[in-house]
Amino acid sequence: MTVAAEVKQCLASLRSIEASLSSLAILSQDDKARQTIHEAMMTVSETAADVQKRAGELEREEAQYQRY
């Protein structure tokens, strides 16, 4: 498995975590808990965006993705 493929797998995991946190925030009845969960979800979302950008960079850098 290439580094880019592993990074994409990590990205998929982050997106899954983000969705789970979103669902949990919606279901939470405690306002403070909802806010804390939402903040965690936003942190995961920002991390996922950074990882997605890096995955694109890796695809361009790895030789097997380059067309000659």
Residue 38 tokens read as: 């939402």
**Cβ-contact 44, 14 below 8 angstroms:** yes
pLDDT tens-place string over residues 20-67: 999 999 999 999 999 999 999 999 999 999 999 999 888 888 766 655
Question: Whole-prediction pTM value?
Answer: 0.83
